[in-house]
Amino acid sequence: MEITQVLLADDHTVVRAGLRNALEGLKNIKVVGEVGNGHELKKALEEQRIDLLVMDANMPEFEPISAAREIKAKYPALKILIVSAYNDETYVVGLLKAGVDGYHLKDQPLADLQLAVQRILMGERWITSSLLSRLADHQAAPARSGNVPWLTKRQRELLQLLAQGADNRTIASALDISVKTVENHLTALYKILGVDSRMKAMNYALHHPEVLATSGQEMVEMEPAPSGEGNLSIMVVDDNPRYRQQLCRLIGKIAPASVIYEADSIAEALRIGEKVKPDLSLIDVVLNDEDGILCASRLKSVSPSTRMVLISAYPDREFRRRALSTGAIAFLDKKDLDTASVRQVIEDAFR
């Protein structure tokens, strides 16, 4: 079999060494060069025959989408696999439309990288599984009639992991069950959702976020009780899962009849906001590398009726000014979020 000649393009030497070690473990693969910027990449492609280009999308002297388009136009037989830390769906879709053959995230196991290379060389496309749920937003929602089904806690956990792109082994580990049990649960879940594939189930969850909502009653594991809060829908936007759960439990105690949604990013908050139009949203000012105040502003544009409260562990005066300028009804210090303050926020949202 003919040897596949591979060029590695990444501006980090350590990353290139890891890629080289992974690829040299494959048969008939030979890494013939390494480059660290766009200029070196262009020169290397001109000087030698390359069958597969494994490259980072973020290098000096390099604009990935236009470069990928130009490379494919000039070398149509060349296979291109992007290996990147960026998981923004717009970015991924742009590169796929530009002609790359695969998109692989750097935080995935090396075994997955080897599989990605093998699939691409066989003429297939490769997309890291955790990206599939994001890309599903670019497809049409599955047609359904009737009301969204109410799932059990375990079914919601399963669907949430599925929507995040987890494979069966990862789901089994997270839920502490066997892979076979996961397969059986998935079969039952597909039937409930009225779908017949993993992708369609993921797509359903993305377009029907209410199917993943938790009742306030369930958050505190109480028997149903009368509540003056009606069917209040509340969204908590925070990138810290532990704090997010604590706040959701607190809300559940105060308003057990409420329906609670969770989001850990701007994209997730906007998706839920557009579909659900929550009555109230509590948003952390800092969401990983994102701006919670920007999240509030954008949420207001897709769901004008949502009342927003910005929360922060850093009650900076400028944060407060910017938060209130978005139309938020309050700006609260996380340390002050106790039962009384959250109850007041919820009561204000009902007035």
Average pLDDT along the chain, 351 residues, taken 10 residues at a time = 90 90 90 94 95 91 85 94 79 81 86 91 86 57 52 81 82 83 82 83 80 63 41 88 87 84 90 90 86 90 90 76 81 80 74 57
Give the domain-ending residue among 177, 209, 241.
209
pLDDT score of 53: 97
Residue 101 token pair: 């053959």
Residue 133 located in a structural domain: no
Residue 199 located in a structural domain: yes
Give yes or no: residues 176 and 242 share one domain.
Answer: no
Give yes or no: residues 198 and 254 share one domain.
Answer: no
Give the domain-ending residue among 105, 127, 149.
127
Give yes or no: residues 182 and 223 share one domain.
Answer: no
Give yes or no: residues 113 and 160 share one domain.
Answer: no
CA distances from 284 to 55, 213, 291, 297, 332 (A): 35, 19, 9, 13, 10
pLDDT score of 281: 94
What's the DSSP call for residue 140? Answer: P
Of 40, 77, 74, the residue nearest 55 (C-alpha): 40
Q: pTM of the full predicted structure?
A: 0.42
Domain of residue 26 covers 4-127
As a whole number of angstroms, the distance between CA 133 and CA 163 comes to: 5
Is the dihedral angle over the CA atoms 206, 209, 211, 213 positive or is it negative? positive
pLDDT score of 228: 41
Q: How many structural domains does the chain have?
A: 3
Give yes or no: residues 225 and 340 share one domain.
Answer: yes
pLDDT score of 45: 96
Per the CB < 8 A criterion, the answer to whether 264 and 245 are in contact is no
Which runs of E-coded beta strand occur in the chain?
Answer: 4-9, 29-35, 52-55, 79-84, 102-105, 126-127, 214-215, 233-237, 259-263, 280-284, 286-287, 290-291, 307-312, 330-333
Residue 135 located in a structural domain: no
The angle, 0 to 180 degrees and rounded to 10, between the axes of the packed helices 179-193 and 198-207 is 60
Q: What is the radius of gyration, based on Cα positions, of the chain?
A: 24
Residue 248 token pair: 């959701």
Report the length, in residues, of the chain: 351
Q: What is the CATH number of the domain that holds 223?
A: 3.40.50.2300
Give yes or no: residues 305 and 267 share one domain.
Answer: yes
Give the domain-ending residue among 127, 158, 185.
127
pLDDT score of 217: 52
Give yes or no: residues 119 and 62 share one domain.
Answer: yes
As a whole number of angstroms, the distance between CA 335 and CA 344 comes to: 16
pLDDT score of 145: 38
Q: What is the CATH number of the domain that holds 159?
A: 1.10.10.10
- State whether residue 9 is helix, strand or coil: strand
Residue 85 located in a structural domain: yes
Give yes or no: residues 97 and 152 share one domain.
Answer: no
pLDDT score of 88: 65
> Tokens 């970015």 appear where?
91
Of 228, 300, 296, the residue nearest 257 (C-alpha): 228
Give yes or no: residues 195 and 248 share one domain.
Answer: no
Give yes or no: residues 92 and 56 share one domain.
Answer: yes
- Please count the CA atoms within 13 angstroms of the CA of 177 that sit on its side-chain side: 14
Residue 134 located in a structural domain: no
